[in-house]
């Protein structure tokens, strides 16, 4: 007879005379040795089983490796755990329910292998394959944390993604490459500055691309979190009354933001994402000047500089890039009158705009260590002077470059 390993049951599901299903789990033991249980009634057996898995995760009780848990069951527990932001969860939910559950949902999570995942990725577009793999890897890492698998089978494995069709570059090669890199060029940023003026999300965009803030950090900024400081002078040519030129000293001011909070899709203010997230950052001059122009007249020091809903910002931003409506009776509800204002620019999510700032700083020679600290990363370096980077100096270099381009 083959050796059998007894597997620990997560809980029990009993069908009631009414047709409903009662789920029951053990949550501990009394002093006399009797079990302490928790139960709940559901309409279907699947709902009852999913509740058992989610509740076990919540209570920190990990089932044994190889317990026959399916990817579908793991996803139910992942949703219930809510250890990622609501926005990220919505994105992952689309990829898991659209791509992975139809292909792997009934498969034992311990049986998922890179070759099987690769076969699914080969059926997707390049963009969906990359984002889909990220979503699945996050769920499998969660399964590893819960003890359902010994390790994430995707970690450390190199996957191939469908090649981009060369025809994709025919319409606008510059825009296509920028979308691929998730970064706008300086020229595109300058074009956007003229087009985005006055839009509700303009303040957030200025902070993301001008200071490298995360979108949730930009949406949490209040009037009191923005200030204007003098940082020196520069020589400029000025015209005298007689028409001749003279060199004069022009004062330079920077707009700074104090980053110490984030506003999520639930509209709640919370601490920044990382330990190094609380910081003071100077905006690149062109964006800083415009941001100060917006916030200076604000009288309420606690007022948000960008009151757009965090839960709605992505939809609102995406609408700016839609083709303008040609209807004479376009809807006038909130946000519709701004639709199409950025039409013609390569679309990037607002959350990706900080990548442009990171790239700009790297291109002008700002070290990776200083760059990381400017953007609130947790990367630590040994050289002590990097622990308090001179962001004003770095921003001055970036501002000079933008000023010359303009």
Give pLDDT tens digits along the chain (406 positions): 333 333 345 678 888 988 899 988 876 655 555 667 888 899 888 888 888 777 766 655 444 444 567 888 888 888 887 667 777 888 899 999 999 999 998 888 888 889 999 999 999 988 889 889 999 999 998 888 777 777 888 988 889 888 766 666 666 676 666 666 677 877 888 899 999 999 999 999 999 888 888 888 999 999 999 999 887 777 777 788 888 888 888 788 889 999 998 887 666 778 877 666 788 888 888 888 999 999 999 999 999 999 888 888 888 998 999 887 766 655 555 455 788 899 988 888 888 888 777 677 655 554 444 445 554 444 443 233 323 344 555 666 667 666 655 5
| Number of domains present in the structure of the chain | 3
Is 6 domain-assigned? Answer: no
Residue 2 lies in a domain: no
CATH code of residue 196: 1.10.443
Same domain, 93 and 224: no
Same domain, 112 and 243: no
Looking at the domain assignment, is residue 10 inside a domain? no
Residue 5 lies in a domain: no
55 lies in the same domain as 67? no
Give the pLDDT score at 39.
86
What pLDDT is stored for residue 69 in this prediction? 78
**pLDDT for 30:** 56
Q: Decide if 9 is inside a domain.
A: no
Same domain? For 118 and 184 the reply is no
Q: Which of 131, 163, 195 is the last residue of a domain?
A: 163
Whether residues 36 and 76 fall in one domain: no
**Do 54 and 67 have their domain in common?**
no
In this structure, are 67 and 104 located in the same domain?
Answer: yes
In a domain, 116, yes or no: yes
Position 72 scores a pLDDT of 87
41 and 66 fall within a common domain: no
Q: How far is CA 156 from CA 112, 151, 173, 349, 377, in A?
A: 15, 11, 32, 28, 23
Strand order of the β-sheet with 21-29 is 12-15, 21-29, 35-42
* Alpha carbon distance 110, 200 (integer Å): 48
Same domain, 247 and 136: no
Q: Give domain status of residue 11, yes or no.
A: no
Structural domain harbouring 93: 62-163
Please report whether residue 277 resides in a domain: yes
Contact 100, 36 (CB under 8 A): no
pLDDT at 378: 45
CB 184 within 8 A of CB 178: yes
């Amino acid at each position: 007879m083959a050796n059998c390993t007894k597997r620990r049951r997560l809980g029990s599901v009993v069908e009631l005379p009414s047709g409903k299903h009662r789920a029951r789990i053990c949550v501990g033991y009394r002093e006399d040795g009797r079990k302490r249980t928790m139960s709940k009634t559901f309409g279907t057996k699947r709902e009852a089983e999913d509740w058992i898995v989610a509740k076990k995760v919540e209570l920190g009780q990990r089932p044994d490796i190889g317990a026959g848990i399916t990817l579908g069951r793991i996803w139910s527990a992942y949703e219930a755990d809510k250890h990622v932001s609501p926005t990220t969860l919505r994105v992952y939910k689309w990829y898991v329910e659209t791509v992975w559950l139809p292909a792997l949902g009934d498969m034992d999570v311990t049986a998922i292998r890179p070759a099987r995942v690769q076969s699914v990725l080969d059926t997707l577009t390049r963009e969906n394959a990359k984002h889909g793999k990220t979503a699945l890897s996050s769920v499998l890492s969660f399964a590893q944390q819960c003890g359902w698998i010994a390790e994430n089978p995707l970690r450390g494995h190199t996957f191939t993604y469908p090649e981009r069709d060369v025809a994709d570059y025919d319409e606008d090669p510059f825009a296509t490459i920028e979308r691929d890199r998730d970064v706008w060029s300086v020229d595109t940023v300058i074009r956007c500055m003229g087009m985005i003026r006055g839009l509700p999300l303009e303040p957030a965009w200025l902070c993301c691309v001008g200071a490298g803030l995360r979108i949730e950090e930009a949406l949490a900024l209040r009037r009191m979190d923005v200030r204007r400081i003098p940082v020196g002078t520069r020589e400029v040519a000025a015209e005298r009354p007689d028409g001749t030129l003279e060199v004069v000293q022009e004062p330079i001011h920077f707009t700074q933001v104090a980053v110490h909070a984030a506003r999520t899709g639930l509209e709640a203010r919370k601490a920044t994402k990382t330990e190094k997230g609380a910081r003071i950052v100077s905006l690149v001059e062109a964006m800083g000047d415009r941001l100060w122009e917006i916030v200076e007249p604000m009288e309420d020091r606690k007022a948000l500089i960008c009151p757009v809903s965090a839960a709605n910002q992505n939809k609102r931003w995406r609408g700016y890039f839609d083709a303008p409506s040609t209807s004479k009776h376009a809807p006038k509800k909130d946000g519709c009158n701004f639709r199409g204002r950025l039409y013609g620019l390569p679309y990037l999510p607002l959350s990706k705009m900080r990548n442009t700032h990171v790239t700009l700083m790297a291109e002008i020679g700002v070290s990776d260590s200083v760059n990381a600290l400017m953007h609130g990363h947790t990367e630590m370096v040994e050289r002590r002077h990097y622990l308090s980077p001179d962001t004003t100096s770095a921003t001055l270099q970036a501002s000079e470059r933008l000023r010359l381009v303009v």
